[in-house]
Amino acid sequence: MHQDVYKTEIWVVKGRHAHDIVVYKFQNLQTEKQKQKNIRKRAITTVADNGNGNGNNNNDEPKQQYRVISENEQKILGPIILYKVFPDENIINDIIQQLNNVGYTDWNSSRIKKYWSNHNIFRHSKKQK
């Protein structure tokens, strides 16, 4: 296959550097990536260390907190997932008391409500009009 060339343009090599176009070999690019990753890791650890002292910087706190529930907790919390609407305060207080008696003191009504909203059996059923 042949192509006709009507005009050629002069390639200005110096202009490539003016536009921040940098040529890398693959091996050099891999080492540069590794260096940048190490620099970022060091920067994150120093920011986290500095944030612990003054308390104003909350970057080191996790955005989401996942809690694993034991089998005993599941047995105590089992009856509330059968309610179609969130149970009243009397039932919730009884469940909190049962959990405290067993030794799980970090449960409160908001955590129980979150557990119920994530695990109740009616959450995927369509709402009736």
pLDDT in tens, 46-69: 555 555 555 455 556 656 667 778
DSSP string of the chain, one letter each residue:
------------SHHHHHTT-----HHHHHHHHHHHHHHHHHHHHHHHHHHHHHS---TTS-S----PPPHHHHHHHGGGGG-SS---HHHHHHHHHHHHHHT-TT--HHHHHHHHHHH-TTTTSPPP-
Over residues 35-45, the pLDDT tens digits come to 888 887 776 66
Please state the rounded mean pLDDT for residues 12-18: 59
Mean pLDDT score of the chain = 76
pLDDT confidence of residue 129: 47
Mean pLDDT lowest among 38-42, 91-95, 104-108: 38-42
| Confidence band for 1, pLDDT divided at 50, 70 and 90 | low
